[in-house]
């Protein structure tokens, strides 16, 4: 589904069901070098249960027109304009990794547009390993392999896969390798240079849920501690058999959590 934001195409995946008036709105935001397809299991689950699920492609990603935005602050402001354009009321924003920073920025700057947050794989800061930054600049395939290796619970590398017919590591590598030139490196630099998470968290008025993968090596649970302390109303959920890529390592629990959260906020 396409929208016009800043006179450019902004794409969002809907899970196969066009949003209807009166449905609770859930906006899902992907991480660095990714696009809306990382949420394909969640959008379908939500959309077929009466939730308006919109998994956005940030500018320069997926089917959204570029250029890609250079900073988390710009991404957060863009997301606010996207939600305003959608015009379906306040949103539950679900962010993963870099997307959690984008969600925080939007919630802090546009509280009128945000009903709640779900932050998956988040931290007060996201430094990026020098080897990954170097690979993102020079060898995206190598960067994709590093990200896939670091992002998954050990069991996810061996099976059984909770998603029949899908190879989790291979799918992630393929997705990152398809990112337009320079997008992954730019996203990683935006994450590494962003220092506003705690200030944004302190300004958030909406209820927030922090989802932690027990085996997350990229954003371990302890890294989210300062954010949890900074926000006024926070619940923490730990997924025992998940790493950083929790939306497809434990899709049933993540999808169920998002549905119950969206319905709870709609009351």
CATH numbers and ranges of domains, the chain: 2-126+194-266 (3.40.50.1820)
Q: d(Cα 219, Cα 64) in Å, to the nearest integer?
A: 27
Contact 117, 208 (CB under 8 A): yes
Q: Which of 248, 170, 187 is nearest to 213 (CA)?
A: 248
Looking up tokens 């371990």 gives: 220
- pLDDT, residue 159, reads 58
C-alpha angle 111-112-118 in degrees, rounded to nearest 5: 50
Question: Mean pLDDT of residues grouped by 10 in the chain (267 residues)?
Answer: 97 95 96 96 97 98 96 98 97 98 98 98 94 90 89 69 68 89 95 97 96 93 94 94 91 97 85
Q: 240: which 2 tokens?
A: 């025992």
Pick left, alpha or beta for residue 35 (phi over 0 → left; psi -120 to 50 → alpha; otherwise beta): beta
- pLDDT, residue 158, reads 62
Looking up tokens 């927030």 gives: 208
Q: Which of 68, 83, 257, 259 is nearest to 179 (CA)?
A: 68
- pLDDT, residue 156, reads 65
What backbone phi and psi angles, to 5 degrees, belong to 243? -105, -135
Per DSSP (E only), the strands in the chain are 2-5, 8-13, 25-29, 52-56, 91-96, 114-120, 207-213, 234-239
DSSP structural state of residue 157: G
Q: d(Cα 186, Cα 60) in Å, to the nearest integer?
A: 11
What is the distance in angstroms between the CA of the first residue and the CA of the last residue of the chain? 27
Instruction: Say how far residue 263 (Cα) sits from the centre of its chain.
Output: 20
- pLDDT, residue 90, reads 97
Q: Where are the alpha helices (DSSP H) in 50-128?
A: 72-86, 98-109
Q: Which of 220, 210, 266, 209 is nearest to 243 (CA)?
A: 220
Contact 37, 68 (CB under 8 A): no
- pLDDT, residue 112, reads 97
């Amino acid at each position: 589904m396409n929208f016009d934001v800043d006179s450019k195409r902004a794409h969002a995946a809907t899970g196969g069901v066009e949003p209807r008036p009166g449905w609770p709105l859930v906006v899902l935001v992907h991480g660095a070098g990714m696009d809306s397809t990382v949420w394909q299991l969640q959008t379908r689950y939500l959309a077929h249960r009466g939730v308006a699920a919109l998994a956005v492609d940030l500018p320069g990603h997926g089917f959204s027109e570029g250029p890609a935005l250079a900073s988390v602050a710009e991404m957060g402001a863009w997301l606010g304009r996207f939600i305003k354009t959608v015009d379906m009321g306040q949103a539950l924003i679900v962010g993963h990794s870099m997307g959690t920073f984008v969600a925080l920025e939007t919630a802090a700057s546009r509280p009128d547009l945000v009903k709640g947050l779900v932050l998956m794989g988040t931290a007060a800061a996201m430094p990026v390993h020098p080897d990954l930054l170097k690979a993102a600049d020079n060898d995206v395939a190598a960067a994709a392999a590093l990200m896939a290796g670091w992002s998954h619970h050990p069991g996810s590398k061996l099976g059984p896969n909770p998603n029949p017919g899908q190879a989790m590591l291979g799918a992630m590598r393929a997705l990152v390798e398809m990112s337009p030139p320079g997008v992954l490196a730019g996203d990683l630099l935006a994450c590494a240079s962003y220092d506003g998470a705690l200030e944004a968290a302190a300004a958030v008025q909406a209820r927030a849920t922090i989802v932690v993968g027990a085996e997350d090596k990229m954003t371990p649970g302890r890294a989210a501690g300062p954010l949890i302390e900074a926000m006024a109303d926070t619940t923490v959920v730990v997924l025992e058999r998940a790493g950083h890529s929790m939306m497809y390592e434990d899709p049933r629990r993540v999808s169920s959590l998002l549905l119950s959260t969206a319905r709870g906020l709609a009351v």
